[in-house]
Structure formats: structure tokens, C-alpha cells
């Protein structure tokens, strides 16, 4: 009986030695939340709405001057009877019947447009567009310039824009200038058969010369 008790105790000791100890449960450590700093709200001052800069000019906002009718050159020729013929070169971006250069004027210093017929709208009426002919030149004769007028202004008219383009001032006392040319009739030489005789028997030739020079010829 004693032997059985000893053997049982020995067996229990062996079993206890072979059995791993139970894992210890982790001890829960209470976690204290860190204090959160309270940030006072910052007031942002209101700023003015930025002003948008003006838009750069584009082709569609180009000044009307770019589409006006411009006088490029004027040739004025005086006939023997005193009447003038003006040949005027005009440039305008004609697009058709809705927009083209429809006339030009020869204007006296007092602002009067010099016309062949008083009822005409312009000194020279242009009857159709010149889309494929730019610049173009058209003439008008039988223009009478009042006595004492030595300077006129030539201007062109746009059907859609009116006047306002480049003008040319023509000095009728000069042969040429900026943008113009003037031609006047030359005084013909007096034939010797019709020349007046001077008291001493010599013949006066070109007695009516423009420069006032009296030329004589000794027969």
C-alpha cells in the first residue's frame, strides 16, 4: 500500500514537471488621454476682390480708323479753260456691297465739297465695290476751283464708316508734295509771225511768258 502511494506521488511529480506553466494574462494598464490644446479661432480680415485687368485689344476691337477709306495719292491736272481733273488713289478694305469706298471729295478751305453737279453726293461717286482692286484710282474732270483758292483737301468716304481716313492736302501752287502731283498748262510760245514789233524794229517773243521775261529777236 505504501509502495502504491509512493508511485502515485512520483507519477504526479513527473506529470507536473512535464506540464508547462500557464501563460500569465497581461495586466491592463489604464491609458490616460493626453489633453488636447484648444486653439482659438483666428479671424481673417476680408480683402477686396481683385480687379481684373482690362483685356488686351484684339483684331475685333481694333479702332475704326483701320477700316476707313484712305486717300493714298492725288494727281491734279488743270486744262487750258481752267477746269481741273483729279485722279485719286483710294485704299479701303472693300468686302462687297455692304462695305466699300463709295466716293471721294475735293474740299475747299471753307469746307465746301467741289462738285460738277451740286446734287451729286460726292465730287466723284464710286458706283461699285473694288474687292479685288486695292488700292484703286478713279478720275473726275470738269472740277471748278474758285478764284483765289490755292489749296484743297481730298478725302474718301466709306459706306459703313463715313469720312475719317487719311486725307491729302494739295497745294495747287506747287508741282508736287507729300501725296500729290500738280500739272498746269504751259503757255505756248508766240509764233514769230504774230509777235509784236518793238519801236526799234525788233520782235518781242514770248512777251506773255509766265516768268514775265521779255525775250526779243533781232530780224
181 and 75 Cβ atoms separated by less than 8 Å:
yes
CA distance 139 to 89: 9
Q: Where are the domains of the chain?
A: 64-183, 186-219
Which of the four pLDDT bands, split at 50, 70 and 90, describes residue 55?
very low
User: What are 3-49's pLDDT values in tens digits?
Assistant: 666 566 666 666 566 555 555 555 555 555 555 555 555 555 555 55
CA distance 114 to 101: 19
Per-residue confidence (pLDDT) for residue 65, from 0 to 100? 43
> Which residue is listed with cell 490755292?
150
CA distance 119 to 145: 17
User: What are 171-188's pLDDT values in tens digits?
Assistant: 999 999 999 999 999 866
List the CATH code of the domain at 64-183: 2.60.40
pTM, rounded to two decimals: 0.57
CA distance 159 to 153: 20
Partners of 8 in beta bridges: none
Q: Phi-psi region for residue 24, left (φ > 0), alpha (ψ -120 to 50) or beta?
A: beta
User: What are 111-162's pLDDT values in tens digits?
Assistant: 999 999 999 999 999 999 999 999 999 999 999 999 999 999 999 999 999 9
Per-residue confidence (pLDDT) for residue 66, from 0 to 100? 61
CA distance 151 to 174: 10
Other Cβ atoms closer than 10 A to 182: 18
Other Cβ atoms closer than 10 A to 66: 11
Amino acid at each position: 500500500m505504501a509502495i502504491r502511494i509512493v508511485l502515485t506521488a512520483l507519477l504526479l511529480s513527473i506529470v507536473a514537471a512535464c506540464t508547462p506553466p500557464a501563460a500569465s494574462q497581461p495586466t491592463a494598464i489604464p491609458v490616460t488621454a493626453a489633453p488636447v490644446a484648444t486653439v482659438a479661432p483666428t479671424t481673417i480680415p476680408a480683402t477686396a476682390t481683385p480687379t481684373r485687368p482690362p483685356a488686351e485689344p484684339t483684331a475685333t476691337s481694333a479702332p475704326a480708323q483701320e477700316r476707313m477709306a484712305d486717300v493714298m495719292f492725288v494727281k491734279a491736272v488743270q486744262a487750258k479753260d481752267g477746269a481741273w481733273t483729279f485722279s485719286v488713289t483710294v485704299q479701303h478694305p472693300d468686302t462687297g456691297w455692304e462695305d466699300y469706298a463709295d466716293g471721294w471729295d475735293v474740299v475747299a478751305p471753307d469746307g465746301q465739297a467741289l462738285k460738277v453737279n451740286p446734287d451729286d453726293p460726292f465730287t466723284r461717286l464710286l458706283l461699285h465695290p473694288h474687292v479685288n482692286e486695292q488700292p484703286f484710282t478713279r478720275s473726275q474732270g470738269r472740277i471748278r476751283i474758285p478764284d483765289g483758292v490755292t489749296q484743297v483737301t481730298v478725302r474718301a468716304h466709306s459706306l459703313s464708316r463715313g469720312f475719317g481716313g487719311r486725307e491729302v492736302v494739295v497745294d495747287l501752287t506747287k508741282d508736287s508734295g507729300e501725296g500729290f502731283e500738280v500739272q498746269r498748262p504751259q503757255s505756248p510760245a508766240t509764233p514769230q509771225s504774230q509777235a509784236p514789233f518793238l519801236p526799234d524794229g525788233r520782235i518781242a517773243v514770248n512777251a506773255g511768258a509766265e516768268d514775265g521775261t521779255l525775250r526779243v529777236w533781232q530780224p
